[in-house]
C-alpha cells in the first residue's frame, strides 16, 4: 500500500506516477487478440468451437451446447428464492426508471429564414452484450447493459457468456429473462466479441457491443471499434474515497475493499485530511480482509495498488480527484455539495456518509458501467444513447435556398469544389 502526503517534498512526482499507472493489457494481449479476431472472421463457427473447447473446456456440438433457450432463462428466474427475485426485480425497476428519463427528444423547427431543421433519434437494430463468466459472473451487469438497450428500443438483444466446463450461472439466466434478452450464446472471450462484430454461420452480427470483460475482451472491443460501436474500453475497477476524520474507519475500509475484491489490478484510494483517521483505516483494512471470502484478490489489489493520500485540507482533494478521474468517487463528508461542484472528472459520484458505492452497483438506478483508467476526463457511463444514433434532417423551399445558398456557393468555390457550388447554382438559376 502506498502512503503519500501532499506536504512531502516528493509528492508531485509520486502522484504523477500514480496517475500514469495504467494497470491494463500489454502488447502481447493485443497480438493474441488480433489472431483470435482474424480466425473467427475467417472460419466462423469452427473457430468459435475450437477456441471455446480450448479456453472454457466446453464442447459446442448440439444446439443446446451453443445456445441457452428463453425457456431455460425463465426457469432460472422462477427458481430464484423469493427474496432474491424481489431484489432483482427492484434493481431492474430502478434501472429502467432512471434510463427512461435519459431518452432524448426529437427536434423539428423552422428557423428565421425558412429552413426546416431537426433530428430524429432511433435505436440501433441489434446490440450484443458481453456477460463475463467465472469470477465476474454478475447478473447486475447484465441488467445494467440490457435494460438501457431495451429502453432505447433495440429490437434484437444478444448476450454472449462463457460457460466454463459447461456450467451456467442461473442468476445470469434469470437476469436475462427479466431484462428481455432475445438470444443467449454460450461463448466468451475475444472470440465471442468477434462473433458479435463479424457474425458467424449461427450468430448474426450486431451494431453495438457493450459489457465488461477481462483484458482480452476489452482489447477485442478496442480493435473492433469502427466495425461496431462499443460502450468503452474498460480497465480494472477504481474507487476514490474522499473522507474527513468524522467517518467510521470500519465503513471506509469496507468501501475501499468493495472495489479491491473485483480484481488484483483494481485500485482503491483514500484522500483524507486526518492522519489519525488514515492510520486507523489502514489498520482496519487488515481486519476486514480477515473476514472476506475474497481476501486473496482484495489483499493483492490493496497491497499492490491501494493508496492513502493525506492532505492538509480537503480543499486540496478536488484537484487530485480531477487528475485521477476515477471510475467511482465517494464523498464521505457532512456537506458533499461543494466537493461535487469542484469535481469535473469522475465516472459516478456518491454523496455523503450513507451512500456507499456498492449501492450504485445494484439498486440506485444510474448505470454502473463507467469509464476507468482516467477516461472519465472525456467519456461517460453507459446510457440509452450508447444504443441510439441521431439522424439530422434539413428541408428548404425556394425562398430558403435563396437566403442561404449564395453563401454555400461562395464557400464551395473557396474550397475548390465546383460541383458542390453548381448543385446549388442550377436551382437558383445562376
115 exposure class (CB count in 10 Å sphere: 0-12, 13-18, 19+) = middle
89 is catalytic: no
Which member of 327, 345, 357, 368 is catalytic?
Answer: 327
197 exposure class (CB count in 10 Å sphere: 0-12, 13-18, 19+) = buried
Q: Side-chain half-sphere of 396: how many Cα atoms within 13 Å?
A: 12
Query: Closest Cα partner for 159 from 58, 151, 138?
Result: 138
Q: Would residue 369 be called left, alpha or beta, if left means φ above 0 and alpha means ψ between -120 and 50 degrees?
A: beta
327 is catalytic: yes
- State the cell numbers at 246: 468524522
Which member of 305, 328, 345, 368 is catalytic?
Answer: 328
N-term to C-term CA, the chain: 74
Enumerate the active-site residues: 327-328
Amino acid at each position: 500500500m502506498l502512503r503519500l502526503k501532499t506536504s512531502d517534498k516528493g509528492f508531485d512526482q509520486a502522484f504523477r506516477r500514480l496517475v500514469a499507472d495504467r494497470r491494463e493489457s500489454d502488447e502481447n494481449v493485443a497480438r493474441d487478440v488480433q489472431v483470435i479476431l482474424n480466425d473467427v472472421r475467417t472460419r466462423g463457427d469452427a473457430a468459435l468451437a475450437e477456441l471455446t473447447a480450448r479456453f472454457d473446456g466446453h464442447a459446442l456440438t448440439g444446439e443446446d451446447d451453443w445456445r441457452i433457450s428463453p425457456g431455460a432463462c425463465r426457469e432460472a428466474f422462477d427458481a430464484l428464492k423469493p427474496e432474491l427475485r424481489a431484489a432483482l426485480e427492484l434493481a431492474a425497476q430502478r434501472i429502467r426508471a432512471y434510463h427512461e428519463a435519459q431518452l432524448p427528444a426529437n427536434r423539428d423547427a423552422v428557423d428565421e429564414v425558412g429552413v426546416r431543421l431537426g433530428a430524429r433519434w432511433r435505436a440501433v437494430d441489434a446490440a450484443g452484450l458481453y456477460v463475463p463468466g467465472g469470477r465476474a459472473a454478475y447478473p447486475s451487469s447484465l441488467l445494467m447493459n440490457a435494460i438501457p438497450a431495451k429502453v432505447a428500443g433495440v429490437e434484437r438483444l444478444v448476450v454472449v457468456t462463457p460457460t466454463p466446463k459447461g456450467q451456467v450461472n442461473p442468476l445470469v439466466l434469470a437476469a436475462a429473462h427479466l431484462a428481455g434478452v432475445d438470444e443467449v450464446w454460450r461463448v466468451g472471450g475475444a472470440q465471442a466479441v468477434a462473433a458479435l462484430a463479424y457474425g458467424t454461420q449461427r450468430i448474426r452480427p450486431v451494431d453495438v457491443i457493450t459489457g465488461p470483460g477481462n483484458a482480452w475482451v476489452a482489447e477485442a472491443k478496442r480493435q473492433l471499434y469502427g466495425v461496431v460501436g462499443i460502450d468503452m474500453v474498460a480497465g480494472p475497477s477504481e474507487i476514490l474515497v474522499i473522507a474527513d476524520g468524522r467517518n467510521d474507519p470500519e465503513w471506509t475500509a469496507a468501501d475501499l475493499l468493495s472495489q479491491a475484491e473485483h480484481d488484483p489490478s483494481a485500485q482503491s484510494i483514500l484522500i483524507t485530511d486526518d492522519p489519525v483517521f488514515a492510520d486507523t483505516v489502514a489498520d482496519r483494512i487488515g481486519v476486514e480482509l480477515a473476514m472476506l471470502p475474497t481476501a486473496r484478490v482484495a489483499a493483492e489489489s490493496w497491497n499492490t495498488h491501494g493508496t492513502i493520500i493525506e492532505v492538509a485540507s480537503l480543499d486540496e482533494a478536488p484537484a487530485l480527484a480531477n487528475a485521477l478521474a476515477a471510475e467511482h468517487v465517494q464523498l464521505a463528508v457532512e456537506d458533499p455539495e461543494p466537493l461535487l461542484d469542484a469535481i469535473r472528472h469522475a465516472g459516478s459520484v456518491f454523496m455523503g456518509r450513507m451512500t456507499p458505492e456498492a449501492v450504485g452497483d445494484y439498486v440506485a438506478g444510474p448505470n454502473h458501467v463507467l469509464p476507468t483508467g482516467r477516461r472519465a476526463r472525456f467519456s461517460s457511463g453507459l446510457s440509452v444513447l450508447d444504443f441510439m444514433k441521431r439522424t439530422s434532417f434539413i428541408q428548404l423551399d425556394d425562398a430558403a435556398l435563396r437566403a442561404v445558398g449564395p453563401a454555400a456557393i461562395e464557400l464551395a468555390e473557396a474550397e475548390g469544389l465546383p460541383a458542390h457550388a453548381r448543385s446549388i447554382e442550377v436551382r437558383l438559376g445562376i
